[in-house]
Amino acid sequence: MFIETKMHPPHLRGATVERPRLIAMLEQATEGKLAIVSSPAGFGKSTLLAQWAAKAGEGGGRVAWLSLDAQDNDLARFLKYITGTLNRTDAAIAAHALSLIESSPVTPVESILAGLVNDLSRMSEPVYLVLDDAHLIVSSEIAVFLNALVTYAPPALHIVLATRGELPAELAAMRMKGQVVNLGDNELRFSLDETDHYLRQICGLDLSTAGIVALHHKTEGWPAGLQLVSLTLAHEPSRESFIADFSGSQRDVAGFLAHEVLARQPAQVQDFLLRTAILERFNLGLVQAVSPDLDAETTLALIERSNLFLIALDSTGHWFRYHHLFSDFLRGKLEAWPEARRADLHRKASAWLSANGYVSDAVGHALAAGDKDMAADLVEKCATPIIMLGHLPLVMEWLNRLPPELVAARPRLLLTRVWAHFQTGRSRDGVRVLKQAKQLVARLRRDGALDEKTVRALQAELRTLTAGVVSGADWPRMATKLADRWLADYPEGEPFAHGTLSNISAFAHFSLGELDAARLAALKGRDYHTIAHSIFGIIYADLILGLVELSAGNLRQAHDLLARAMQQARQGLGANSYSEAMSAIIKVELLYEWDDLNSAERLLHQHRRVIEECGLVVHEMACKLHLARLAQAHGRHDEAIRHLERAEQLGIEKRYRRLTASALNDRVRLLLSRGDVAAARMALQLRGISLADSEKAKTIHPLDEYAHIGVARVLIAEGQPKRAIAVLERIAERQRRDGRLRGLIQVRALVAIAAHAAGETLQALAATVDLIALAQPQRAVRSLVDEGPPLKAALDFARGRIPAWSRPSETADFVERIGAALNRAGAGRAQAPVVGLPSKKPLSGKEMEVASFLMRAYSNRQLAQSLAMAPDTVKWHLKNIFGKLGVSNRTEAVLKLKEIGLVEPPERVG
């Protein structure tokens, strides 16, 4: 929930001192990207900016105002407020930012930045973003964001930072990026005319000219000091004597006059001021909560009429704050109160804020009260419903504000942190915290601190999260065994955890190619999430169902499921949420398969940034695979290979076998299309996959199928098609048994290619007919077209020998369409030159070791020292490596090694 008054300038009272000279300075400064207004407390900085903002708005500019406080150092909270206030100037700016931030498991900084810059670049009128009290920002993450926003700001955006003094180190670098106006004490002090106008016209004091001049000199034109003087003089019987005795130095004014002002107030007003000093901002309901025994409404009205350093935050007079100087003074006085009494004020404030939806602020007051249990209760009460919506940044914000020892003492808070690790793909962190939670639940149960009902609920959740982190670590078989065993005896009354465990089981079964089991588990998961009203869980169940039907070759059904998931995400979480992006990225694969490249590319780039920034590894890798395939389809092979290399590295880092193998298969196919057989073979070798092992394996695991398909490709390219067919037939047998008909298309295409190359006419015809029979119902095009000229040759061979393909029919039309698409792809295919004459021989183990250190640009001497070799031995290995790579020097060797996927070894320690 937004605190709306943070996003409006302070309300200007009817009588204020107009400062045209300073307004002109601000107008000039704000023509650039950045203006910094720096002045000490009490110099009227916020009032001046409010006056300037009103004038800027009258001139056609749009002013987005954000009053910062210490709690805004949380990145997600800051981004929500900064996009929220910009959206209020124009609905086209950051229209979907809130849903994106709240639905993403990781705060999507880059996506928000890009969205803001793009939206603002379309604005014709100037947009002024004012960040008041910027000195309170100490977060380095926010500083990086603001620096980037200034760097990439389009012409329409002008940023104004208002700070009490020097900016924190994190923001100091921004001074180099814009025009800086330093309105310090010399500029902001009242002139004598302004002092005269303020005291006589605004404050209504009947003072002599000598008295005005004396006060101006004694306060040195300090606006806050003059305000304090005016409050005292309003009740001073001998004004001239007071002025004569008043020292007036800025250092003394605050303490002396604030004491005088406070001491002259009725006891009830003094008590009210001190009680409400704990509040950053307040309305009548909140002050009544902390002062239930006082007439809050009357007292607040009296303070407002007395102009007692009260600043209205809206035009309706509902929300207020005290002047910073006065607030600091009051809090200093409040320190004299007993700690228990101060804690009681914070406790009451926390209770009211929590009851009225300001939970994050309520947590802060609960912690200030020293009531850690109350703070923890607040987080526990709200965490699960928010997780069910997928709003993880907010939950993490709360957890990070709680003391670590408090989180470690509460199983519910530990489990909340595991949920966050699980949904953000940090399995190792999840395992660590999960172990803590299990041990804590066991100990509390042993000590009798938990009743059996609570224990059962916690243990059920522990089981769900255990299966989740196991699945996230890419151990799908273990995940299915755990999940299916626990699902058979899951306690009632926990539909969210139950549904999540079903979804985990579904995805693990899908990863193993067990589509029927995956489909059943996902449907059950969807039912439980519907009972729990978990939007994120429902969307994820539909996503898994979409993946299952995609793998089964039911592409139209998969499309409908993914479209339903995207629609639910938009309706429940807002447009362009993380949940929508998850489903959209999978839908890209469908559009690509149907050869709708423009729609696929448009959808991919609409959601790419969110997925790359926040997505789970499965979605992030899928995104990279799509980028590579689209680049290849447009003939940009080098770009495609770079994307595939990154996908493989990510898969290796995250230990995600299935998509790593898929990226490797695509890269082998691309290298072979360039005629670089040696590089393709070596790419497999570097991943520990040998041709001999593929042939010896009795069974090929579904997670490794694509790597062995890559082996078959190399065998075909090296003129050994029969050996390739033997590998492919073992894969096809299992795919057909599992009903994974879409993957079977690629395998049967390669069998057709291999059989045609081997001169096995009947086998080539049978595979081609089977291929078309599989692809036509799915309308699958790219799985065929991406195989390029070798498949075109096999298809042309079959077309001349299958009479049914020459007669008018849907099948004949489909074959004609594939042939035409292959012709277009062949005409546009860019054949990259291959350096040298590549060898078919793989690098030996020792040559691999030398090659890996070669990539660090080691000299021959360094290589000899690092590998404990004689210099002549190093030279001999390098000569062999150059020969096998088909290169003539070190630079070409490093480029070739990068292309085939070799990475630098880690630095040795010691």
Q: Report whether 194 contacts 19 (CB < 8 A).
A: yes
Q: According to the model, what pLDDT value does residue 315 have?
A: 66
Instruction: Tell me the backbone φ, ψ of residue 635, rounded to 5 degrees.
Output: 85, 10
The alpha helices in 687-807, defined as continuous H runs, are 691-696, 705-717, 721-738, 741-758, 761-778, 782-785, 789-799
Residues 138 and 251 in one domain: no
Q: Answer with the one of 243, 263, 283 that is the final residue of a domain.
A: 263
Domain end marker among 372, 404, 436: 404
Query: Which pLDDT band holds residue 168 (cuts at 50, 70, 90)?
Result: low
CATH for 891: 1.10.10.10
What is the pLDDT, as a whole number, of residue 108?
A: 84
For residue 528, give both structure tokens: 């439980």
Q: What proportion of the chain, given as a percentage, has pLDDT over 90?
A: 38
HSE, CB side, 13 Å, CA atoms: give it for residue 817.
Answer: 16
> Does pLDDT of 15 surpass 70?
no
pLDDT of res. 860: 78
Is residue 326 a part of any domain in this protein? no
Q: What average pLDDT does the segment 153-170 reach?
A: 78
pLDDT of 338 > 90? The answer is: yes
Mean pLDDT calculated for residue range 477-490:
93
Q: Residue 356: CB partners within 8 Å, gap ≥ 6?
A: 285
* pLDDT of 116: 92
pLDDT digits (tens, 9 = 90+) for 830-880: 443 333 334 446 676 677 778 777 776 677 777 777 777 777 777 777 878
Between 41-45, 54-58, 88-92, 116-120, the lowest mean confidence (pLDDT) is in 41-45
What mean pLDDT do residues 81-106 have?
Answer: 87
Q: 76 and 200 in one domain?
A: no
Q: Is 621 left (phi over 0), alpha (psi -120 to 50) or beta?
A: alpha
Are 515 and 552 spatial neighbours (Cβ–Cβ below 8 Å)?
A: yes
- Whether residue 779 sits in one domain with residue 869: no
pLDDT, position 747 = 96
Q: Residue 531 half-sphere exposure, CB side, CA atoms within 13 Å?
A: 14
* Of 27-41, 111-125, 150-164, 205-219, the least confident: 27-41
Looking at the structure of the chain, the number of domains it has is 5
Task: Report yes or no on 577 lying in a domain.
Answer: no
Domain boundary among 188, 204, 221: 188
- 763: which 2 tokens? 């086998």
- Torsion sign over Cα 777, 659, 708, 738: negative
In a domain, 598, yes or no: no
Joined tokens for residue 146: 């603001």
Q: What is the mean pLDDT of residues 447-468?
A: 91
The Cα–Cα gap between 862 and 855 comes to 12
**Cβ neighbours, 10 Å, residue 281:** 17
- Is 473 within the bounds of a domain? no
Residue 303 one-letter amino acid: I
Least-confidence region, from 112-126, 240-254, 412-426, 765-779? 240-254
Does a structural domain hold residue 323?
A: no
Q: What is the predicted pLDDT for the residue at 240?
A: 80
How far apart are alpha carbons 644 and 660 in whole angstroms? 9
Q: Which residue has the higher pLDDT, 177 or 817?
A: 817
Q: Is 50 exceeded by the pLDDT of residue 234?
A: yes
Q: What is the pLDDT of residue 595?
A: 94
Q: Is residue 428 part of a domain?
A: no
Residue 831: per-residue pLDDT: 42
Whether 168 and 234 share a structural domain: no
pLDDT in tens, 236-258: 778 888 787 766 544 455 565 56
Q: What percent of the chain has pLDDT over 70?
A: 89
- CATH number, domain with residue 113: 3.40.50.300
pLDDT over 80 (residue 346):
yes
Of the candidate ranges 15-29, 374-388, 896-910, the one whose mean pLDDT is the lowest: 896-910
Task: Give the pLDDT confidence score for residue 739 in this predicted structure.
Answer: 95
Residue in the block written with tokens 């291929």: 771
What average pLDDT does this structure show over 774-799?
Answer: 93
Question: Is the confidence at residue 226, as pLDDT, over 50?
Answer: yes
- Strand 62-67 with 34-38, pairing: unpaired
pLDDT digits (tens, 9 = 90+) for 512-547: 999 999 999 999 999 999 999 998 899 999 999 999
Q: Kindly state whether residue 235 falls inside one of the protein's structural domains.
A: yes
Phi, psi for 266 (deg, rounded to 5)? -60, 155
Does pLDDT of 801 surpass 70? yes
Q: What is the mean pLDDT of the chain?
A: 84
Average pLDDT for residues 781-797, to the nearest whole number?
A: 93
- Domain hosting 353: range is 340-404
Q: Are residues 141 and 21 in the same domain?
A: yes
- Looking at residue 254, what is its pLDDT? 57
Q: For the chain, first and last CA: distance in Å?
A: 53
Same domain, yes or no: 240 and 151: no
Does residue 148 sit in the same domain as residue 232? no
Do both 34 and 137 map to the same domain? yes
Q: Indicate if the alpha-carbon torsion angle 162, 164, 165, 166 is positive or negative.
A: negative
* CA 769/CA 523 separation, integer angstroms: 35
Q: What's the mean pLDDT in 378-396?
A: 78
Helical spans, DSSP H, in 138-266: 140-151, 169-172, 185-188, 192-196, 209-219, 223-233, 239-245, 250-263
Q: How confident is the model at residue 40 (pLDDT cuts 50, 70, 90)?
A: low
Residue 743's domain is classified under what CATH number? Answer: 1.25.40.10
Check whether residue 184 and residue 139 sit in a common domain.
yes
In this prediction, residue 772 carries a pLDDT of: 95
Same domain? For 121 and 258 the reply is no
Give the pLDDT confidence of 624-677 residue by residue, as tens digits: 999 999 999 998 988 998 889 888 888 887 777 888 889 999 999 999 998 889
Residues 106 and 199 in one domain: no
Q: In what order do the strands lie in the sheet with 127-132?
A: 34-38, 157-163, 127-132, 62-67
- pLDDT for res 175: 60
Q: Is residue 39 scored above 50 in pLDDT?
A: yes
Q: Is the pLDDT of residue 70 over 50?
A: yes
What residue has token string 């059920």? 460
pLDDT band for 584, please (50, 70, 90 cuts).
very high
Least confident of 256-260, 328-332, 364-368, 848-852: 256-260
666 within a domain of the structure (yes/no):
yes
pLDDT at position 908: 43
Residue 862, pLDDT score: 77
**Euclidean distance between CA atoms 221 and 192, whole angstroms:** 7
Are 175 and 106 part of one and the same domain?
Answer: yes
